Structure 1
């Protein structure tokens, strides 16, 4: 069988961000490392924007658009691409968010670490489930060790700017992303799309398409659980570049919304418990039965 060495960058977008998409895509097209395909997946109809009359966003030359009938929510950034490359072993797919500007070496850093660890999913941003109070055995070692924000000077400066902007506008704004999140490399539980996530078509099995109907808004949790269910670890690339947010990145951001009755924190926890109960991942031997609970799907 021919083993492809293609590199595919895959993302999705929503109508309120169509005007921001070009800057994100140009930063991807301008990567120093060669990319074979840059594609944007969009559905014909959006569950969050049922009033939207379909049209294709303007895209820079060199970008492919894929229009599908299924809206998987934010997981649309990767699921249609997995379908199209399912029979292409060796392809590396990097999925990411649509509201960020990538450093020119962003792709190169992910690829370099993937060359070292071909069996793992590689991320530049991620976290452990204890952050949201989900107990489980940390079976994958070594563990990535978080870096205290005190030592992230870029983050500290952006945090001051965020606080000043809050005072000026009177609106509560989310904290800025960390530029360096981990002090040492290792496995993490959750892969965050904001930093870029490198997978292969066989990193997931077909269960990844069974996105729970009431938990579709938390793609990071769902996709990470599906990686674990398929015995693929998530490895933190400590020195990787986390793309910077655009100024208007908070427009219609999911983490600021209440979706299907859940705010972001509630949805994250509910999805993690759903995965524990239904897929046997992230189990806790110290708290038998802790994963059990009724989570609407």
Structure 2
């Protein structure tokens, strides 16, 4: 038994239909598909009017805009102790047949699985992956399968330095608990891009930081807070 969760932003609401349909069509069928939305957005002013949702998709409101981590943390808190597995993903990819099955089938105790991951060595940080089959950073766009209890602590809301870079922040929250990440390339093969737009955070400047600066700030915060992934050669 498992659930799927994601979040979205107002400019993408009208494009959600095929994304949600792809999630509902996964086999084994998810017990729940949850769309998590903040009651107010940091980047988009004004009241939030949710999009119409197909049968089988539940809306979960969250009082705070956690940025892209809204796709994982509210649902994890809601489902901890009730659901053994949660897959969180992005709202701009359509997941084809076999995506969820691949992530679920590769899951081992005390491991997260992802359709695509990468090593922190790419960011000049000391890796902690225990084997070549593991990595440090789980990329949410390709889906990440976890026990929701792992992401249910109240202190996991991303601070400002981590707000735009949820992959690093959430992966750090897992790594702090000794949860390793196993990439599952078969899941990535079942995906296709749903649409193109200019609203993703990848190329945005947030609070004066571009993506590289945000990655560095989040990694430094994780090093300071948990001792995770210090710079290669030493330092924070």
TM-score range, shorter chain: over 0.9
- 2:203 is aligned with 1:209: no
Match of 2:122 among 103, 122, 131: 131
Instruction: Describe the SS at the equivalent of 1:240.
Output: helix
CA contact (8 A) 2:7 2:90 kept: yes
2:60 equivalent to 1:66: yes
Question: 1:107, 1:215 → 2: CA distance?
Answer: 27
The normalised TM-score by structure 2 is 0.93
Contact 2:76 2:152 in 1 (8 A): no
Please list every run of 5 or more consecutive structure 1 residues that lacks an aligned counterpart in the other structure.
1-5, 144-185, 292-297
1:254-285 Cα deviation digits (max 9, x unpaired): 1121001111121112111110111111246x
- For 1:127 and 1:234, locate their aligned partners in 2 and report how far apart those are by CA, in whole Å: 10
The 8 Å contact of residues 99 and 245 in structure 1, kept in 2 or not, is answered as yes
Residues of 2 paired with 1:211 and 1:247: CA distance? 27
User: In structure 1, what is the equivalent of residue 130 of structure 2?
Assistant: 141
Counterpart of 2:36?
41
Q: Does 1:79 align with 2:26?
A: no
Contact 2:220 2:230 in 1 (8 A): no
How far apart are residue 239 of structure 1 and its match? Answer: 2.6
**RMSD of the TM alignment (CA)?**
1.7
1:1-297, aligned counterparts within 5 Å? 6-50=1-45, 52-88=46-82, 91-114=84-107, 117-134=108-125, 136=126, 138-143=127-132, 186-204=133-151, 206=153, 208-242=155-189, 243-248=191-196, 250-283=197-230, 287-288=233-234, 290-291=235-236
Aligned to 1:171: none
Change (3 A) 1:34 1:46: same
Deviation by residue 1:96-151 (Cα, 9 ceiling, x = unmatched) = 0001111111011111111xx122000111111121222x1x343212xxxxxxxx
- Please give the TM-score of this superposition, normalised by the length of structure 1: 0.75
Count residues with an aligned counterpart. Answer: 235
Larger radius of gyration: 1
